[in-house]
Amino acid sequence: MRKILPALFLFVFSLTAMAQERVVTGKVTSQEDGSPVPGVNIIVKGTATGTATDADGSYSIRISSDNAVLLFSFIGYNEQEVVVGSRSTIDVQLALDITQLSEVIVVGYGTQIKQDITGNVAKVDGKVIQNVPVTSFEQAIQGRAAGVLVTAQNGKLGQGINVQIRGANSISAGNEPLYVVDGMIINYGSLSNNGAPTNALADINMNDIESITFQKDAAAAALYGSRGSNGVVIITTKRGKSGKTNFTANFQMGSSKPTGIREFLNSDQYVELFREAAYNNDLADGFDPINNPADYPGSWLEYAEDEMDYMSGNGNPATNWRNASTRVNTDWNDVAFQDASMTSFDLTASGGSEKTSFYFGGGFADQDGILLGNQFRRISGRVNLDHKATDKLNFGVNFSLSKTINNRVSNDNAFSTPLQLVAQAPITPVRDPDGNLYDDSTNPSMFYYPATMEKENARFVTEVFRNIGSLSATYKIVEGLSIKGEYGFDLLTQNEDRYWNNLTQQGRDPLVNGYGQSNWTQVFNYTTRASVMWNKLIGEHAIDAVGVFEFQEASIDFTDAQGQGFPLKELTRLESAATPIISSSSLTESTFVSYIGKINYKFRDKYLFQVSGRVDGSSRFAPNNKYGFFPAASAGWILTEEGFLSDAGPLSFLKLRASYGFTGNAAIPDYIFLASYGGVAYGGNAGLTPTQIPNPDLSWEKTGQFDIGVEFAFLNDRLTGEFDYYNKQTEDLLFNVPVPGTVGYLDAFQWQNIGDSENKGFELVLDYAVVRTSDLTIRIGGNYANNKNKVLKLDGYQTEIHPTSSRYINSFIVGQPIGVFFAREYAGVDPANGDALYFVNDPDGDPNATTNSWNAANRIVVGNPTPTSIYGFHVDAKYKGFDLNILFQGVSGNQVYNAAGGFMSANMRYEDNQTVDQMRRWQQPGDITDVPQARLYGNNGANASTRFLEDGSYMRLKTVTFGYNFSPELASRLKLNSLRLYVSGQNLLTFTDYSGWDPEVNTDFLAGGNQFLANDFYAAPQPKNLMFGIKIGF
């Protein structure tokens, strides 16, 4: 035995030796979608042996020992080490490394490696927003980028979303960022004509998006000159890579529900409070119809009870409120919302040859809104092609076409909007016993026209065709010097088609007899651009320079036709209208001419500089001020490249950077500096009326922004982060200043460059890889931003500008944030008589003094409509085939004003149903409560005050996705590259003290400007979505 053992060893050893030199083959795929990854570097660790994957992701490498360790590395992916052992086939899945410093980032007029960037740019990878069930990408990036505040106006699909980067600057011009898709400025904002903004970005299929970058500081945004002040959002769509053609198909379906419900009185409570409100009036008038029946005829109580007869089915005994057995209890919240389902399907293909690569994406989405009658559908296709004609000449083509069909509902201010149904009395049945809908006129039992009628008898469809395309040609003159020509366009055609039959409020007047409307809007926006790019490496000096000339023209052509008198309900197009009512058309155009220069200089890979300048001229500005110049400079210093920090323990990367520059804001209507007279009609004759007070000096709004930041990484880049402080000073605000009405313009405002504002704040981004092994990765990260916004100067003689309507309380006040809530302070209820009380707030008087006269109380600053803090944090975990992604998002430091409080929470002022808290009303002397005595048609505490103001902070479980990826072996047995099943939820939990439907609100009919922020007015909450999906790659 002793002799045999060495022999055995020898034998085994020789076997091993025989196995030493052998070939290992395999395939490298992306863990994300199972697609092959070409060009992955593979080396045998500790040797010089290496290879790279081919176009199919396949490789073959010679190893000399089973102990050999293969190291797979590729930019953008985590490195992976694999011990070969006895295997001869080793397939590897690489995980994306989304925080790598060597990541390529799209910036204005170029791309840069993240660690070389001297400005503040936040990137959201397209992968994290894929298949999120929302209609436009801004909703999907909520909480993903520091300092980017996204607020959906309400829960209607395809409608307005407000995006603010580092706070609002402007009083009257736009505060939304500029959107650039594949280098072309596209149309964004609203083209709606019903008072509720729509969202032109909803036409973009976000599954085609490769990355979104937010250009936040001046170094990044000044490249966009007169339109950079609000930051720039650069969207890059996916492109093909040469190699085998890969297909992915994704199918998902799910359903939505409201995130929140506001509770209203049930019918017993309603009857009690309604009678009480009337009876209180009688007592106040010196009558007592309850204890003294002789007082009943002609009393308020009789009147109210008659009203309730009307409201409970117009006297129909089957539903009469007076009898407990026939009294109905309609929950109008339930009627306003519908069961909402959603389905979507996407197919992509990408690949190409050495010379030509392509990406194709097609998508179909069909989503119901949670509001009665709301539905959004989109079908879209995109082709991106790249072709190398010669070594020197490249062509690129991007082309997308989409059609969206949005079944819309009325704006939040209309009786016909679904959520205003909650104003109906719970004693009112939805339908009469014959099944016909009740309303306020044709089958009367209501005081307010109901959305139910609108749903069944009206049509409101907005159809948009959107074609965004671009062509480019790049020619390399010599190494390092190339020129590029580009042409891009965005063509948008929209029809808002509406029809109301003769049962609707709009169409039921016998003289009207059906009403139809068709609004056609066509927007054509094109850009032509010529660029020169030069880069040179001279020893330790790297220079990169770009020069650009750009011309952009946009026109909006609008035609409105309306008619009435439709012979039959079935004939719903304007051709059947007996009488044309309105036909009008308009055209507005704007042009921008720009010259842009940018130089980047890098010395020894650690000293970074960028200088840029842009000259913009625009038709939007007055003759005396057509052109503006917008320079910026920035510098960065990578300290970890310095000798003294080259071995800094756990610190693996440290960069300091600073920037300063100027941007402008040109987001104002066309022609506003001109004196103009517009057409009017009087008695059938055409007349002229002065419409605009001229200003021959009108110019840009100017923002100077300073930013200082630090980027760091610890523990071999396991912990990475970024911290920035910024100070934005905006002057010459574009301000539509109110002037005395005696000037004699109905719209007594004049556009002036006057006023100053500032935004100061900081942003923190952290990302930590808790575990990163090949089986298990756990990553947590988050971002936090704090912004202090302040108006520094208004028009010079006013220090406060208040809303013209008494229903709202947003003001502009020097020293306060834009749109600050400024109102009378509610002081509760006088225990002696049930009167609503307000604090007098006389600066010279008793601070606790109260009054029951709303007029006698002084207004004070009571809240901020814009969050001061916004944050998001996420956990991403992967274990073998499983993955889990969780995102929380939230805001704080803001208030929400329920402008409908004067109707729905007004201690039964009108017939409107009341929120359930109104049962706390004052009833008898000595009662201590915050709800005043009910007085029918009396205004007891219903005026605008802090009574209807609440904390608007919230935190949301924004997105949760849990998925399982089948192993490549199993997938390949099914002839697939990859197979993934997942469930995903959106807005699953909302943590807030707000008592309304949803604290994320900015009621749509007020959301057009910058003043009326964070108002709730029967605004629908965000949907809570839950869905299931399957994704295959082949």
Partner 1 sequence: MAISCTDELELNDPGAIGDNIALANDANVKAVLLGGYNALSNGAFFGGNTLRNSELLAANGEIVWSGTFSDPSDIFNKEMAATSGDATNLWLSAYNAINIVNNVLSALDVVNAADQDQVEGEALFIRGIAHFELVRFFGLPYSTGNASTNLGVPIMLTPNSVELVSRNTVEEVYTQVIDDLEMAESLLADGPNNGKASKQAAAAILSRVYLQMGNYVEARDAANRVISSGIYDLMPTIASCFNTGSTSEDIFDIPVSTADGINNMQTFYASTANGGRGDVEIQAAHVALYDGTDDRLDLIITDPVTLELRSGKWLNAFGNVKIVRLAEMYLTRAECNQRLGTSVGDTPLNDINEIRSRSSLDDLGAVTLGDILLERRLELAHEGSRIHDVKRLQETITEGVDIYSYSDPLLVFPIPQREIDVNGNLIQNQGY
Interface of this chain with partner 1, residues 266 to 295, rule: CB under 8 A: 284-286
CB of 798 to partner 1, least distance (A): 6
Nearer to partner 1, 92 or 308 (CB): 308
Q: Which of 677, 879, 991, 1028 binds partner 1 (CB under 8 A)?
A: 677
Nearer to partner 1, 401 or 593 (CB): 593
Q: Looking at 93-101, 459-467, 805-813, 1021-1029, which segment touches partner 1 (CB under 8 A)?
A: 805-813
Task: Give every strand in the sheet of 820-824, ordered side by side.
Answer: 800-801, 810-813, 820-824, 859-863
Taking the complex as a whole, how short is the minimal distance between the CB of residue 738 and partner 1, in angstroms? 5
The minimum distance between CB 202 and partner 1, in angstroms, equals 28
User: Measured from the CB of residue 610, what is the shortest distance to partner 1 in angstroms?
Assistant: 26
**Is residue 69 a contact partner of residue 92, using CB atoms and an 8 Å limit?**
no
Q: Which of 435, 643, 740, 847 binds partner 1 (CB under 8 A)?
A: 740
Element housing 305 (H / E): helix 300-311
Stretch that binds partner 1, among 354-362, 492-500, 531-539, 799-807 (CB under 8 A): 799-807
Q: Is 910 in the site for partner 1 (CB under 8 A)?
A: yes
Q: Of 79-87, 445-453, 493-501, 958-966, which segment contacts partner 1 by CB under 8 A?
A: 445-453
Query: Which residue, 395 or 447, has its beta carbon nearer to partner 1?
Result: 447
Exposure string for 749-777, b = 16+ CB within 10 A, e = fewer: bbbbbbbbbbbbbbbbbbbbbeebebeeb
**Among the listed residues 165, 31, 152, the one whose alpha carbon sits nearest the alpha carbon of residue 98:** 31
Which residue's CB is nearer to partner 1, number 395 or number 551?
A: 551
Give just the sign of the alpha carbon dihedral 578, 579, 582, 587: positive
Q: Which is nearer to partner 1, 189 or 694 (CB)?
A: 694
- Rounded to a whole number of angstroms, the minimum distance from the CB of residue 795 to partner 1 is 9
Q: Which of 687, 796, 845, 925 binds partner 1 (CB under 8 A)?
A: 687
Report CA dihedral (283, 286, 291, 292) to the nearest 10 degrees: -150
Q: Which of 797, 843, 846, 926 binds partner 1 (CB under 8 A)?
A: 797
- 397 has which bridge partners? 385, 471
Q: Tell me whether residue 593 or residue 633 sits nearer to partner 1 (CB atom).
A: 593
Query: Interface with partner 1 includes 508 (CB under 8 A)?
Result: yes
Q: Quote the least distance from Cβ 174 to partner 1, whole Å.
A: 19
Question: Min. distance of Cβ 680 from partner 1 in angstroms?
Answer: 4
Beta strands in 353-457 (DSSP E): 356-368, 375-388, 393-407
Residue 283 vs 379, nearer CB to partner 1: 283
Q: Position of tokens 């600073």?
A: 658
Q: What is the residue-wise DSSP string for 307-351? A: HHHHHTTTT-GGG-TTSTTT-----HHHHHB--EEEEEEEEEEEE
Contacts of 215 (CB under 8 A, 6+ apart): 107, 108, 119, 121, 221, 223, 224, 228, 231, 232, 233, 234
We find the least distance from the C-beta atom of residue 106 to partner 1, in angstroms, to be 28
Q: How far is the CB of 301 from partner 1 (least distance, A)?
A: 15
SS3 604: coil
Contact status: 693 vs partner 1 (CB under 8 A): yes
Residue with Cβ nearer partner 1 (748 or 884): 748
Number of Cβ atoms within 10 Å of the Cβ of 675? 11
Size of the site for partner 1 (CB under 8 A): 89
By the rule CB under 8 A, 606 interacts with partner 1: no
Q: How far is the CB of 629 from partner 1 (least distance, A)?
A: 14
Residues 890-909 vs partner 1: string with x where CB under 8 A?
------------xx------
Nearer to partner 1, 907 or 959 (CB): 907
- Applying CB under 8 A, which of residues 477, 568, 743, 832 lies at the interface with partner 1? 743
CB 361 within 8 A of CB 441: no
Token pair of 270, please? 């309603």
Report, in Å, the least distance between residue 498 CB and partner 1: 17
Q: Is 441 in the site for partner 1 (CB under 8 A)?
A: yes
Quick one: which of 804, 844, 926, 928 contacts partner 1 (CB under 8 A)? 804
d(CA 406, CA 187): 18
Query: Nearer to partner 1 by C-beta: 526 or 653?
Result: 526
Give the DSSP H/E element, type plus range, for residue 138. helix 137-140
Residue 864: CB minimum distance to partner 1, A: 21
Q: In 22-141, at which residue ranges do the beta strands (DSSP E only) sit?
A: 22-30, 41-44, 50-52, 58-63, 69-73, 80-83, 92-94, 104-107, 110-113, 121-125
Find the binding residues for partner 1 in span 184-203 (CB under 8 A): none
245 is an interface residue for partner 1 by CB under 8 A = no
| Residues 911-950 contacting partner 1, CB under 8 A | 912, 937-939, 942-943
Our measurement of the distance from residue 982's CA atom to the centroid of its chain's CA atoms, rounded to an integer in Å, reads 25
For partner 1, which is the closer residue by CB, 720 or 943? 943
> Does position 689 bind partner 1 by CB under 8 A?
yes
Instruction: Using alpha carbons, select from 518, 521, 500, 517 the residue that is nearest to residue 509.
Output: 500
Q: Examine residue 16 and tell whether it contacts partner 1 (CB under 8 A).
A: no
Give the pair of three-digit tokens for residue 569.
């309900």
How far apart CA 366 and CA 376 sit, in angstroms, is 6
Surface-to-core class of residue 1025, CB atoms within 10 Å of its CB (0-12 exposed, 13-18 middle, 19+ buried): buried
297 contributes a contact to partner 1 by CB under 8 A: no
Cα separation, 312 vs 316, in Å, equals 7
- Per-residue string for binding with partner 1, 401-440, x by CB under 8 A? ---------------------------------------x
What is the spatial distance between Cα 330 and Cα 308, in angstroms, rounded to a whole number?
A: 14
Question: Smaller CB distance to partner 1: residue 30 or 172?
Answer: 172
Q: Provide the minimum distance between the beta carbon of 229 and partner 1 in the complex, in angstroms, as a whole number.
A: 20
Burial of 609 (0-12, 13-18, 19+ CB in 10 A): middle
Told to check if 444 binds partner 1 by CB under 8 A, we report yes
Q: Which of residues 531-560 bind partner 1 (CB under 8 A)?
A: 549, 551, 553
Cβ-based nearer residue to partner 1, 207 or 416? 416
Residue 676 interacts with partner 1 (CB under 8 A)?
yes
List the interface residues with partner 1, window 301-360 (CB under 8 A): 310
How far apart, in whole angstroms, are the C-alpha atoms of residue 92 and residue 95? 10
CA-CA distance, 802 to 862, in Å (whole number)? 14
- How many other CB atoms are found less than 10 A from the CB of residue 45? 12
Site for partner 1 in 579-598 (CB under 8 A): 579, 581, 586-591, 593
Binding test (CB under 8 A) with partner 1, winner from 802, 878, 947, 958: 802
In this structure, are strands 895-898 and 1015-1016 parallel, antiparallel, or unpaired? parallel
Task: Check residue 675 for interaction with partner 1 (CB under 8 A).
Answer: yes
Of 694, 831, 881, 1009, the one binding partner 1 (CB under 8 A) is: 694
Q: What is the rounded CA–CA span in Å between residue 888 and residue 987?
A: 9
Out of 685, 773, 848, 924, the residue judged to bind partner 1 by CB under 8 A: 685
In the complex, the smallest distance separating the C-beta of residue 201 from partner 1, rounded to whole angstroms, is 26
| Contact characters 622-651, partner 1, x per CB under 8 A | ----x-------------------------
Which sign, positive or negative, has the C-alpha torsion 643, 646, 648, 654?
Answer: positive
